[in-house]
Amino acid sequence: MKKLVDGVAYYQVVFTLPAELSALALGNRRVMFTLLFHAAWKSLKQVLEDEQAYEAAASMVLHTWNQHLDAHVHVHAVVPGGGPSLKKPGTWQHAIPPPHERQDRWWLVDADVLRVEFRDTFLNGLRRLHTRGELKLEGDWSHLQGKAAFDEFLSPLESKSWVTYIQPPPTESSAPSDIVKYLARYLTGGPISDARLMKYEDGRVTFTARTGTTHGGSDETEEVELPAQEFVRRWCLHILPPGFTKTRCYGGWSNHHSTRYVAECRDLLPSADDVARGEALCAEASPDVADAESRGRRCPTCDGELELIERVHRTSWRDIFSGSDCPSWNTFRERPG
């Protein structure tokens, strides 16, 4: 909570390994889980810097299960939708949609670009692990010890669309703490809570699971019944290696940068008074007849029809107060829609 800053939208971003890699990941937990963290952060940082040009930060937590306790390796990340600008040091930059997207929608980065970057980064890292001999390839996986066989195994994954999911704040009025409270359930606990356990009878365990295949499932649940031995086997799939850190912070929220980053964010981010002052300036600068055409070409005085004689481009106040020509005396930076 100490890292959160008022006025910033916080997003949840989920990075998921494809099912084809689940078994390999469970057989190489430490190196592949670590690679997942690094690939998720590297790809997120790269796309944020390319598209938004601000210093990135993230807190990530590892999960290895789905509602049925099957192997489903993924990380949840909390990501701020803004930060200190990389192009204009000493200024704040909010995440904004590209010109071809609706400007009033929530936006962090292009999800399609992010999933490609994540896929390529992870596969490149996996090849390096194989080259260095850091993967355990025994038993059913022994045929992948050779480079050619391993490349052939990875080939279908190079063209597959991997899953990355970007979820905006719950509501437009959400406080920064809301997204953290929402994600708090992911930070603690194990693969299944006591509340989902229904009964143990005749050597079989019955528990509830959310239905649906999309992220987060649905509000509906179903009963799942498993032999006790199978239930215990699935539960044990999610025991992490000794000493493995399942929650990690990166970029501005890393231990090395956190104090400096949070202080800089609070110093640069426009306050509520700044925003109100900037809105007043915009209102004063815009005459009521600024765009008669947008009101149906009617005169606001006599309601007569107006004829457009000439159109002259005038730089918007938004560009003046947020662009490169912003006066040095102005401390306000308007937050995009």
How many structural domains is the chain composed of?
Answer: 3
Do 80 and 94 meet the contact criterion of CB atoms below 8 Å apart? Answer: no
In a domain, 224, yes or no: yes
Shared-domain flag, residues 204 and 254: no
Indicate if 172 and 25 belong to the same structural domain. Answer: yes
CA distance 331 to 21: 50
Same domain, 205 and 263: no
Q: What is the pLDDT along the chain (337 residues), one digit of tens a residue?
A: 678 888 889 999 999 999 999 999 999 999 999 999 999 999 999 999 999 999 999 999 999 999 999 999 999 999 999 999 999 999 999 999 988 888 778 899 999 999 999 999 999 999 999 999 999 999 989 999 999 999 999 999 999 999 999 998 877 777 777 777 766 666 667 889 889 999 999 999 999 998 865 555 556 889 999 999 999 999 999 999 999 999 999 999 999 999 999 999 999 986 544 444 444 444 444 444 344 444 456 776 777 777 767 655 544 444 444 555 554 544 444 444 3
Same domain, 243 and 168: yes
Residue 279 lies in a domain: no
Q: How far apart are CA 109 and CA 74, in angstroms?
A: 19
174 and 308 both lie in a single domain: no
Query: Based on the domain organization, do 170 and 106 belong to the same domain?
Result: yes
Indicate whether 3 belongs to any domain: no
Give the whole-angstrom CA distance, residue 196 versus residue 215: 19
75, 186: one domain: yes
Check whether residue 67 and residue 102 sit in a common domain.
yes
Asked, for residue 165, whether it belongs to a domain, the answer is yes
Residue 97 sits in a domain of what CATH number? 3.40.1310
Residue 22 sits at φ, ψ, to 5 deg, of -60, -50
Give the torsion through C-alpha atoms of 15, 132, 120, 187, to 10 deg. Answer: 10
Say yes or no: 163 and 223 in one domain.
no
CB 292 within 8 A of CB 303: no
Task: Supply the range of the domain harboring residue 202.
Answer: 192-237
What is this structure's pTM?
Answer: 0.76
What pairs with residue 205 in β-bridges?
200, 226
Establish if 65 belongs to a structural domain: yes
Cβ proximity of 234 and 70 under 8 Å: yes
Whether 225 and 309 share a structural domain: no
135 and 78 both lie in a single domain: yes
Length of the chain (residues)? 337
**Residue 249 within any structural domain of the chain:** yes
Residue 186 and residue 158 share a domain:
yes
Helix, strand, coil distribution of the chain in percent, nearest 5 = 40, 20, 40
Q: What is the DSSP string of 127-144?
A: HHHHHTT-S---GGGGGG
Asked if residue 1 is part of any domain, the answer here is: no
Q: Report CA 51 to chain centroid distance, whole Å.
A: 14
Residue 61: both structure tokens together: 């937590």
Residue 256 and residue 153: Cα distance in Å, rounded?
38
